[in-house]
Amino acid sequence: MSPTLLVVGSTNVDLFAQVRAHPAPGETVLGTGGTRAAGGKGANQALAAALQGARVRFVGAVGDDADAQTALASLREAGVDLGAVAVAAGIPTGLAIITVSDDGENTIVVVPGANATVPPETAEAAVARMGEGDVLLLQGELPRETTQTAARAAASAGQRVVLNVAPWVSLAPDVLRLADPLVLNEHEARSALAELGIAAGQDSAADARALHAAGVTSVVVTTGAAGAVLATAAGVEAVASPRVRAVDTTGAGDAFTGALAARLLAGADLAEAVDHAVRVGAFAVQHAGAQPSYPAAGQELP
């Protein structure tokens, strides 16, 4: 049986609004849209990985409401194993309220809903079922202890942990050091350095180097349109992103991380996986939405 990517993460419904420019505090602006689509960082990354050919098992929770079907539809269609997705009685499915401006930038408010009910015991039991060559992928939208328990259990069993601390949540230093790689954007990298008691550097390369020097096995810092920087025992390397016109950046980081995890699961080294991931992310920003913007395996990438 081929290795499996175990994703312990969040699943939401995304509610979209398009505006010419984001409102200032206290300001009301008119918008368009109002559409709802599947989202959540865990589900997004699971889908991105599955579309890139990975065998994926997803662990999380939805509510007992109509949004649950919307939240899981794309994962089900992509063949993701949803057997460990719980239904939380009397609690709504997670909701993300996303506003996208004409320049493609977004703001997001996340209401966790059922995601907040995923306990550490569920994550630990899922990790116990991992087999040889499997990889664990985690994000920052589940309860802190659930994420930490999953990472520690996987690492103690000798399984690879890909940890994307997005949105930023304060995790214990020992958990950050278990990641291989720790995937963050530029702002999250500085938060991780602060968590480890280290001053931020002058740029993302310096921050990646500092995180690796602090004991993180490998580090990937995404740098938006510029691409990404990775730090390993071999040194620091910048990987440029193709130049594209951004339509909507929503979920692009998840496209990157899911594609990265899929390539690592398939046996690629980190530099090769990052190179592929930046091109998947560049593909995603050229299309509206999160999950609907992700490429399938074999689609031409920038």
Q: What is the DSSP string of 196-221?
A: TT----SSHHHHHHHHHHTT-S-EEE
Q: What is the DSSP string of 40-54?
A: -HHHHHHHHHHHTT-
Distance (Å, whole) CA 133 – CA 131: 6
Distance (Å, whole) CA 185 – CA 228: 9
Helix, strand, coil content of the chain in percent (nearest 5): 35, 25, 35
End-to-end CA distance of the chain: 32
Catalytic pick among 248, 254, 269, 275: 254
Q: Are strands 94-101 and 12-19 parallel, antiparallel or unpaired?
A: parallel
Residue 275 bears catalytic tag: no
Cβ atoms of residues 253 and 215 within 8 Å: no
Alpha helices in 59-142 (DSSP H): 67-77, 120-128
CA-nearest of 288, 291, 293 to 104 is 288
Cβ atoms of residues 12 and 61 within 8 Å: no
Distance (Å, whole) CA 90 – CA 96: 19
> So which residues are the catalytic ones?
254
